[in-house]
Structure 1
Amino acid sequence: MARTFDFIIVGAGSAGCVLADRLTASGRHKVLLIEAGGTDRRVWIRIPVGYGFTFSDPKVNWRYSAAADRGLNGRAAYWPRGKVLGGSSSINAMAYVRGLPHDFGDWEAAGAAGWGWEAVRASYDALESNDEWHEGRRRLRGTGPVRVTDLSERMHPFARNFLAAGQDMGWPVLQDMNAAAEAGANTLPGEGLGYVRSTVKAGRRWSSADAFLRPAMKRGNLTVVSGALVEKVLTAGGRATGVAYRVKGQTQLAAAAREVILSAGAVNSPQLLQLSGIGPAALLRRHGIAVKHDLPQVGQGLQDHLAVSHYFWANTATLNSRLGSFAGQVKAGLQYVLTRKGPLSVPVNQCSGFVRTAGAALPDVQVYCNPASYSTQANGKPQIDRDNGFLLCVQPSRPVSRGQITIRSADPAQAPLIEPNSLSAEEDKVTAVRASRLLQALAATPAIERVTRERRDPDILHMDDAALLENFRARAGSVFHASCTCRMGHTAADSVLDARLRVHGMAGLRVIDASAFPNVTSGNTNAPAMMLAARGAQMVLDDNENRALAAE
């Protein structure tokens, strides 16, 4: 017999943890949270630099692969996704980036009424507590559960060369890329280059599970089931009524008195809708799935960010001098264990910001600069170079190309087909070249040339536009910002959800995660996913309260 809950949340990731907290806070609602993965109590999750070791760990990672991508010369990209409490917030690089104001203007234009910059900025402010330097002392600004830490004093000294190079380029030096631009400045929030702010607290990763799920788990009205694969959403009469999920080979049922909420991420949320008979009718019939609701846009609209990186040998010490040898790694490990400080306490992505390529009216590229050079071994583990090196990277931030995610069969355990469709829009090819030109200019600044011993192959400085595009096709890769596969919009003809994150044409069913983005935000997507979930949770509560009042 199925147990009944008010709300069922599928997925304990960046968004699902927020929902579990907010929907149980009043104590009035019984909530079931179902997660396919297991515990996040793992050493490489807790240590900030440890995400290199969770990058391919099947115990915490879905380890998806995309289909061969014509736009990337037929390469099939690796797509890590969190399969653990905290989801991808437990295995990501911890960069906390809100996105740019015009991203959310685009959301509103796409049909997500009420999701403009002023509204979402207020939500961000309420979510955050910023641990930062102010007038030579540390202060905590804000009272929200998401700890966002200024780690600038722990950054490797070599990173100062990146800020100097940004000044050579005419870019502002940012104290906080999420803060408002200075009054009168001809810039936007995040425009320029500065030290990355990270979801780290007291030298440890601070995931969505830490910020939201742990407090919620102390409440008696939350039930968490981990190691459980949801097979489908149950429906009747055009309404979601519950879910079927598998634990240790046994299928169990749970009923939802109010709503089922999918927070399984940009890959798994559309997959689950399709497995449940909600999606493109022809696709569902092809796999023998009864069509419950023909909704053609489910799985469509996939967006992601692509970045191209170039490595350089340095003529001075970089992070490689600390971590490039076994002795150095042991020393860093001891320092971390004893003090929670040192190179293991800081994510490797140390400098970033948004800039404009030639002729762009708005920032259209994100720059990353790391004071280390490294590679990924065949087993997926990181291998830092012994010699001193560094990395410069550019990421076109506002792609136009869109791909899709579709089921391969009716088996919930089979990974869906991921088709990124990279660089299919001509505009994205133009931006890739312009972004690469910007990287050439950055590499040629006096500040970078002073510390460069050798430019490693391929040498980007000697490429023309055709060669830059081919280099991008051959070497650019995902930075794991998948989104938009259940996007908000005007109607079922152009989207999956309305502006209140409700599935078009299905009562009692919402999708609240990065798949709901109408378009990918300009930067890292963890912060926007948590913001969206916080706002979505309030919508759930408000709509159910209004429904209850109307019934009286």
Structure 2
Amino acid sequence: MYQLLQIQGIRPAVTLASQGIAPVLINENIGQHINDHNVFSIMATSTSEASTNQWIFNITKLAASRAEFYANASDRYTAPSGITNAFQMLSVEHLQSMGASAVIDYGDAPLINPNYYSHPTDRIVATNAFRDLRKIFAHPSLSQYTVGLMNGEVSPGPSVTSDDDDAIFEYIKATTLPNWHASGTNRMLPLADGGVVDSRLRVYGVNGLRVVDSSVMPTVPDVNIQGPVFMIEEHGAKTIREDWQF
């Protein structure tokens, strides 16, 4: 949405001038402050019983699971591609003990640079997450479904040891991807605090224009943003009905 605003002349002054677009509204916060979740992975070989790759090539099992889903809304058809996503909650004490107190200092509105891991605290938290992933793989509840040394780990595997911070971080940098949870480029905040829309999702300074998407989130939630996006859409629909009395 911020791109649509900018090409219509609603954007920071410098970007308008650089592209020769006549200004409609100058707001230095439009298109700024992007937030996102990023993700990296440790990969392991699973047993054939636990492998969905093997399961989808077995037409008998596939048909049985499809029938179960249509009959009872259960079994493997109910699982999305990312079955075990989770957001880790780190205590204040743990963040302090591992040298990541900057997360605490920034409070509920952390400064997020577009280039991941540019802040040393981001490196600390990511390295801690890598070690915790290995602990999860080693837990009997999960390791029973893996095959091979190091609980089946094939990436990065034994070439990266858990006590080598530099090697861990190089692996993290090489495998990190955005998680497609972009938000924050048209934040719902008071105008004086860097906002683009008000609490009714109306763009400051423009009549009859709302933004109803993830860009209005002031910070990225500690969850998958699909649920919050649905809430924003419901709120947007409600305010439109109220304002237009229908």
Report the TM-score range of the alignment, normalised by the length of the smaller protein. Answer: 0.7 to 0.9
Q: Residue 424 and residue 540 in structure 1: after superposition, are their counterparts in 2 closer, same or farther (change >3 A)?
A: farther
How big is each residue's C-alpha offset from its partner over 1:352-379, in whole Å with a ceiling of 9 and x where there is no partner? 4343347149xxxxxxxxxxxxxxxxxx
In structure 1, C-alpha distance between the alignment counterparts of 2:90 and 2:157, rounded to whole Å: 20
1:335 CA drift (Å): 5.4
Q: How does 1:40-439 map to 2 (within 5 A)?
A: 269-315=1-47, 317-318=49-50, 319-323=52-56, 325=57, 328-329=58-59, 332=62, 336=66, 340=70, 343-357=76-90, 359-360=94-95, 400-402=110-112, 420-439=114-133
8 Å contact 1:279–1:296 — kept in the other structure?
yes
Per the alignment, residue 164 of structure 1 pairs with none
8 Å contact 1:303–1:399 — kept in the other structure?
no
How big is each residue's C-alpha offset from its partner over 1:86-133, in whole Å with a ceiling of 9 and x where there is no partner? xxxxxxxxxxxxxxxxxxxxxxxxxxxxxxxxxxxxxxxxxxxxxxxx
Per the alignment, residue 155 of structure 2 pairs with 457
> What secondary structure does 1:300 align onto?
coil
1:347 CA drift (Å): 1.7
| Structure 1 gap ranges (5+) | 1-268, 362-397, 404-419, 546-552
In structure 1, C-alpha distance between the alignment counterparts of 2:141 and 2:68, rounded to whole Å: 35
| Structure 2 gap ranges (5+) | 97-107
The count of corresponding residues between Structure 1 and Structure 2 is 222
Whether 1:507 aligns to 2:207 is: yes
Whether 1:484 aligns to 2:184 is: yes
> What secondary structure does 2:233 align onto?
helix
In structure 1, C-alpha distance between the alignment counterparts of 2:68 and 2:137, rounded to whole Å: 38
In structure 1, C-alpha distance between the alignment counterparts of 2:229 and 2:15, rounded to whole Å: 28
In structure 2, C-alpha distance between the alignment counterparts of 1:445 and 1:519, rounded to whole Å: 33
> What secondary structure does 1:452 align onto?
coil
The residue type paired with residue 320 of structure 1 is: N
The residue type paired with residue 172 of structure 2 is: F
Q: State the TM-score, normalizing by the size of structure 2.
A: 0.78
Whether 1:497 aligns to 2:197 is: yes
8 Å contact 1:278–1:295 — kept in the other structure?
yes
In structure 1, C-alpha distance between the alignment counterparts of 2:86 and 2:239, rounded to whole Å: 32
In structure 2, C-alpha distance between the alignment counterparts of 1:344 and 1:532, rounded to whole Å: 28
8 Å contact 2:35–2:183 — kept in the other structure?
yes
In structure 2, C-alpha distance between the alignment counterparts of 1:524 and 1:441, rounded to whole Å: 23
> What secondary structure does 2:218 align onto?
coil
> What secondary structure does 1:322 align onto?
helix
Whether 1:516 aligns to 2:216 is: yes
Per the alignment, residue 49 of structure 1 pairs with none
Identity %: 30
1:530 CA drift (Å): 0.9
In structure 1, C-alpha distance between the alignment counterparts of 2:185 and 2:67, rounded to whole Å: 41
Whether 1:445 aligns to 2:144 is: no
Whether 1:535 aligns to 2:235 is: yes
In structure 2, C-alpha distance between the alignment counterparts of 1:500 and 1:339, rounded to whole Å: 40
1:277 CA drift (Å): 0.3
8 Å contact 2:161–2:168 — kept in the other structure?
no
Per the alignment, residue 101 of structure 2 pairs with none
Per the alignment, residue 525 of structure 1 pairs with 225
Higher helix share: 2
The residue type paired with residue 140 of structure 2 is: P
In structure 2, C-alpha distance between the alignment counterparts of 1:444 and 1:343, rounded to whole Å: 24
The residue type paired with residue 183 of structure 2 is: S
> What secondary structure does 2:86 align onto?
strand
1:462 CA drift (Å): 1.6
1:334 CA drift (Å): 7.4
> What secondary structure does 2:147 align onto?
strand
